[in-house]
Chains A and B, each alone.
Chain A
Amino acid sequence: MSKVRKLEDAVAAIPDGAVLMIGGFMGVGTPPRLIDELIRQNKRGLTVIANDTARPTVGIGKLVAGRHVARVIASHIGTNPETQRQMIAGETEVELVPQGTLAERVRAGGFGLGGILTPTGVGTVVADGKRTVELDGRTFLLETPLKADFALILAKRADYYGNLEYALTARNFNPLMAMAAETVIVEAEDIVPVGMIPPDHVVTPNVLVDVLVAKEARHG
């Protein structure tokens, strides 16, 4: 069955309060049409797992500025004063996670691991309340997996089946998140016939993709 859905229908399936993983780094690699449609449909109480909250007018920053988000799990919010303001005012819950730990927690969620052991954060406030493990004389933090209801992914190219290619630094968290969510929704800059993306170039295999957002009809 085809995975292609209209933008409106793809986003309508996301309920208020859903846990979303959203690809991107300062907006680069964040699916712009999906973000704008979440706002247009006025989704509320979302949990967003993402690297950062960009700027108030960019990518995930727009969701925060429009008060669509109740909880953020991210490594960096410094470029978005509105996220910081909402956090300090107690309006939005923010969990700050070291960036490499965030990547590994998402990977663990998608790869069926029970957690990961990292030296990052040992002896700092990040370690508060977490278990440590001693191995060969080194101390590691036990960090738990992250999973989501939906992953919102930006790909450079998809084929009709949903095989995905990414571009340069727009790849970032996208392939990791495409493994770690119940439903994976993909916005692709280009959609091409099956066979045009050689198997060696496929980064996210089609079986992971549930929904491919239809391109808007262009004329002329």
Chain B
Amino acid sequence: MDEKTLIAKRVALELRDARLVNLGIGLPTLVARHLPAGTNVFFQSENGIIGMEPVPEEGLENADLSDAGGSPIGAVPGAASFDSAVSFGLIRGGHLDVTVLGGLQVDEEGRLANWMVPGRMVPGMGGAMDLVSGAKRVIVAMQHSAKGESKIVKRCTLPLTSVRRVDLVVTDLAVLEPTDAGLVLKETAPGVSVAQVLAATGCELIVPATVPAMPIDA
């Protein structure tokens, strides 16, 4: 299993009791393919729909039905569409159970930076700031390191997406839970040791007496 699939499968386990979920572009989108049996969620696309699904079959694309990247989607029975104010009312108003977002950095205090690299990449925040500020539960799904540098850092050097503490960070090496005391190492990836996680992390982690492996079949 590749690293992204592993992350997606682990995040998917967090959606069991959710009703409304928003998946960010990129890696988070993979989560929808790995939902455990019995999961019953509506996926929101912030351009104005809940109940998105992939286009069921080539040739059934509709020019008025797209995801936030502008690509064609389908809609499940029970889907509903609405304007952008309602869409962000769902996000900001406490109606969104879970958002899963990619990340550039997460720091010791559980704060996320994921929308720009000054001077290099300025795509704009899109819906990310509203999602992190407003969702009931924020899960960051990302690689533990990029270009040999840990993305888990003592303090974010990139501009923050929100000062709100995220709820869970799932990487290819570990599951981390931000708390008042710092980042707690909750799980390691299959075949990865605690020592390996610590060595790949740019800040202190709180390590409980036992750290289980992710409940995922490798």
Contacts and interface: CB of A to CB of B under 8 A. Distances in A.
Contact of A28 (B66, B84, B121, B128): B66
B40 to A, nearest CB: 23
Contacts of A84: 122-123
Main secondary structure of the interface of B (DSSP, over half): loop
Contacts of B62: 168
Q: Which of A25, A123, A167 has the most CB of B within 10 A?
A: A25
A75 B127 contact: yes
A25 B163 contact: no
A188 interface: no
A162 interface: no
A179 to B, nearest CB: 10
Interface string A1-42: 000000000000000000000000111110000000000000
Given A25-B70, A119-B133, A167 B64 contact: yes
B84 A120 contact: no
A54 B123 contact: no
Contacts, number: 150
A170 interface: yes
Interface in A68-125: 74-79, 84, 87-88, 96, 98-104, 107, 118-125
B83 interface: yes
Given A98-B127, A99-B84, A25 B47 contact: yes
Interface residues of B, number: 40
A56 B69 CA distance: 14
B65 A169 contact: yes
B81 A168 contact: yes
A169 B88 contact: no
Interface of A: 25-29, 51-52, 54-55, 58, 74-79, 84, 87-88, 96, 98-104, 107, 118-126, 156, 166-176, 203
Interface of B: 45-49, 62-66, 68-70, 75, 81-85, 87-88, 91-92, 121-130, 133-134, 159-163
